[in-house]
């Protein structure tokens, strides 16, 4: 899972649409000018070509200006991109700012339609136009639901994302950087108060997370203000440990170092601690009125909102019931493939018996110790290193950014997901990171490690997202935007892809791959079960326990995620199935001329896009290869 939610600005683009990127390769095939005639002399043809280029350049320059204007409004995104402008500031999350951003987005779309000629654009610029238009129209549909999302959840929200942002993104290379960090600490009170106000506004509408969510949210918030300088426990709190390590790494004299540390401590105790106490008070207040109902069907117009989310995440027009039935079909198919592996390893018993064996046999689990965790990280890194050697058989295009495997930080591992990916900084100051949550090694079986590494690392998220960011001659909004079905569909597709190149040679590892795919198929069932069929949290957990080999802790953690991210989990399997369907279309159409590396170029080298647009690209590529344009 790719994890980084950015605030929208482009044409009012939703945060959902800013999770991936895109690019032009320029090798899709250019229009060939017809042979000159008396009616169309060569000079006219050349002038027409120059006009196309000029109009495309004009549009791309305007896209860049829109991006930069928007970027200037979002200090945290500037930091995320590796820039140190507005380095001591936070984003403005007020409703007034959101309204202004929304109106800017509408004005941007109107301006594009009024000032540029779509028919005069080259193919790549036309794609940029269409994606900009798609995002703006999606934002228009989303505006109605602006207060229907959850501000705080056990898995995300300003109470945990704010310290994570400082720790992972605010680099301290100079004295000025350290002072900017302290400035951000001093600004956290106002920033978090905006989040509190947003949460109150949604709560008043009847939008709130289930009762069970408040205890873990309170615990996460408390974790941030536990340790020095908040108490005498003997260890630094997460933020104090971070700022201390960053300041002491600078080449400063002792007096300057002590001044900065004293200012950091003062900001933490006078600003950060009271802000987190206000957040905890909010959680306690809302918990007193929260209900046990888990799905968003309980919210005002919840069914309509859920359909809106499904359409946005999948970029396809599928109903909740259609997705539910698709999930049931895929679960049955994968169960049959798993029975084949049972026969291969000589297991005697039912599929559920085999699941129990995979859940409990010690051979499939690392020790729940620091040594076991270190070994997991080392083995996951080795898998990725081995995959690198095979990539030229699968791809023509490769990312330049490095990839690291890291353990999820202790302060957020109790509420973080099983694994996720963070993109590299575009300027090369931060590598891509595959985060593995090693809080409980019983949730990280060895037989799933191979598929998980391919999904989060290479050829999965790192391959797609880093390439996207590194694309040249495309508007920035395409390099840093995205669509969940495309991004996560690619991640799941790349769990399957290595099978065709001799990976998963151990049958248990191949079972793990199927288990990961089964997990995503079950998501179609349980997500729609929770939010459409009104299942309870426990009903959804039991479905996973009965139909997957995953341990109970894994299943409960997953359901908790699907409850607070309604619809998101459906995009993985739907995106994967669509990529595989399009690949099959290409193989059948091109026959012996088909090369999987070229197919992957078509998919990756224009960046993320809605699935219908991807289909158009594949069909255009097929037509070009067969001469049927």
Q: Does residue 342 register a pLDDT over 50? A: yes
Q: Is 403 helix (H, G, I), strand (E, B) or coil?
A: strand
Q: How many Cβ atoms from other residues are within 10 Å of residue 386's Cβ?
A: 12
Rg, Å, the chain Cα set: 25
Query: Cα–chain-centroid distance for residue 556?
Result: 21
Please state the pTM of the whole predicted model. Answer: 0.85
Query: Cα–chain-centroid distance for residue 141?
Result: 21
**What are the residues facing 344 on neighbouring strands?**
none
Q: Does residue 481 register a pLDDT over 50? A: yes
- What is the per-residue pLDDT for 12? 34
Nearest to 215 by CA among 414, 410, 411, 413: 414
Instruction: State the DSSP code for 610.
Output: -
> How many angstroms separate the CA atoms of 393 and 597, rounded?
7
Q: Is the peptide bond before 425 cis (omega within 30 degrees of 0)?
A: no
**What are the residues facing 436 on neighbouring strands?**
407, 419
Main-chain phi, psi angles of 503, to 5 degrees: -85, 175
Q: Is 435 helix (H, G, I), strand (E, B) or coil?
A: strand
Instruction: Give me 321's structure tokens.
Output: 């019931």
> How many angstroms separate the CA atoms of 602 and 594, rounded?
12
Nearest to 145 by CA among 301, 10, 315, 286: 301
- What is the per-residue pLDDT for 73? 97
Interval 253-265: pLDDT, tens? 999 999 999 999 9
Query: What spatial distance separates the first Cα and last Cα of the chain, rounded to whole Å?
Result: 37
Query: Cα–chain-centroid distance for residue 488?
Result: 8
Percent of the chain surpassing pLDDT 70: 91
35 close to 127: Cβ distance less than 8 angstroms = no
* Length of the chain measured in residues: 629
Q: Does residue 32 register a pLDDT over 50? A: no
Mean pLDDT along residues 454-471: 95
> How many angstroms separate the CA atoms of 335 and 538, rounded?
22
- What is the per-residue pLDDT for 596? 97
- What is the per-residue pLDDT for 629? 60
Residue ranges per structural domain of the chain? 10-16+41-143, 158-293, 304-576
Q: Is 211 helix (H, G, I), strand (E, B) or coil?
A: helix
Per the prediction, the chain carries an average pLDDT of: 90
Confidence of residue 64 (pLDDT cuts 50, 70, 90): very high
- What is the per-residue pLDDT for 39? 33
Label each residue of 88-109 as H, E or C: CCCCCCCHHHHHHHHHHHHHHH
| Cα separation values, 266 from 174, 203, 229, 230, Å | 20, 33, 9, 10
Q: Is 433 helix (H, G, I), strand (E, B) or coil?
A: strand
Confidence of residue 551 (pLDDT cuts 50, 70, 90): confident
Q: How many Cβ atoms from other residues are within 10 Å of residue 15's Cβ?
A: 14
């Amino acid at each position: 899972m790719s994890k980084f939610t950015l605030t929208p600005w482009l044409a009012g683009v939703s945060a959902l649409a800013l999770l991936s990127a895109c690019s032009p390769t320029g090798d899709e095939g250019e229009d060939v000018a017809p042979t000159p005639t008396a009616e169309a002399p060569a000079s006219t043809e050349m002038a027409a070509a120059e006009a196309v280029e000029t109009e495309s350049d004009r549009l791309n320059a305007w896209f860049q200006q829109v991006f930069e204007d928007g970027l200037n409004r979002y200090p945290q995104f500037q930091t995320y991109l590796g820039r140190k402008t507005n380095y001591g500031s936070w984003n403005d999350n007020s409703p007034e700012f959101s309204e202004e951003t929304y109106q800017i987005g509408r004005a941007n779309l109107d301006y594009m339609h009024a000032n540029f000629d779509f028919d005069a654009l080259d193919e790549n610029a036309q794609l940029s136009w269409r994606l900009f238009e798609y995002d703006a129209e999606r934002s228009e549909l989303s505006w109605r639901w602006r207060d229907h999302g959850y501000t705080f959840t056990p898995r995300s929200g300003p109470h945990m994302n704010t310290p994570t942002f400082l720790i992972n993104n605010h680099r301290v290379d100079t004295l000025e950087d350290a002072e900017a960090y302290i400035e951000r600490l001093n600004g956290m009170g106002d920033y978090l108060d905006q989040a509190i106000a947003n949460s109150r506004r949604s709560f008043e509408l009847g939008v709130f997370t289930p009762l069970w969510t408040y205890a873990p949210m309170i615990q996460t918030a408390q974790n941030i203000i536990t340790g020095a300088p908040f108490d005498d426990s003997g260890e630094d709190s997460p933020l104090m440990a971070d700022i201390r390590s960053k300041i002491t790494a600078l080449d400063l004299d002792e007096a300057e170092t002590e001044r900065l540390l004293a200012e950091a401590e003062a900001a933490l105790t006078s600003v950060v601690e009271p802000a987190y106490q206000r957040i905890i008070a909010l959680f306690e207040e809302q918990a007193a009125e929260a209900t046990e109902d888990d799905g968003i069907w309980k919210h005002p117009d919840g069914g309509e909102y859920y359909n809106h989310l499904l359409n946005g995440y999948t970029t396809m027009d599928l109903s909740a019931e259609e997705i539910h039935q698709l999930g049931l079909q895929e679960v049955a198919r994968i169960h049959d493939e798993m029975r084949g592996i049972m026969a291969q390893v000589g297991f005697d018993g039912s599929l559920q018996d085999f699941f129990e064996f995979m859940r409990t046999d010690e051979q499939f689990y690392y020790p729940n110790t620091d040594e076991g965790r270190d070994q997991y990280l080392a083995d996951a890194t080795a898998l990725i290193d081995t995959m690198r050697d095979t990539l030229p058989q699968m791809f023509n295009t490769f990312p330049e950014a490095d990839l690291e495997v890291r353990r999820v930080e202790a302060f957020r591992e109790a509420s973080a997901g099983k694994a996720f990916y963070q993109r590299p900084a575009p300027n090369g100051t931060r590598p891509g990171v595959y985060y593995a949550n090693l809080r409980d090694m019983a949730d990280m079986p060895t037989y799933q490690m191979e598929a998980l590494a391919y999904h989060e690392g290479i050829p999965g998220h790192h391959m797609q997202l880093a390439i996207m960011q590194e694309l040249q001659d495309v508007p920035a909004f395409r390099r840093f935007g995205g669509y969940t079905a495309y991004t996560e569909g690619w991640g799941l597709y790349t769990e399957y892809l290595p099978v065709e190149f001799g990976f998963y040679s151990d049958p248990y590892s191949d079972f793990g791959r199927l288990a990961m795919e089964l997990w995503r198929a079950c998501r179609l069932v349980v997500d729609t079960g929770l939010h459409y069929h009104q299942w309870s949290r426990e009903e959804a957990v039991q479905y996973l326990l009965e139909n997957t080999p995953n341990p109970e802790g894994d299943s409960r953690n997953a359901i908790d995620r699907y409850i607070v991210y309604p619809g998101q989990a459906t995009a993985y399997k739907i995106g994967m199935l669509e990529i595989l369907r399009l690949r099959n279309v290409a193989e059948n159409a091109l026959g012996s001329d088909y090369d999987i590396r070229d197919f992957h170029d078509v998919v990756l080298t224009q960046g993320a896009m809605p699935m219908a647009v991807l289909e158009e690209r594949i069909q255009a590529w097929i037509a070009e290869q067969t001469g049927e344009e």
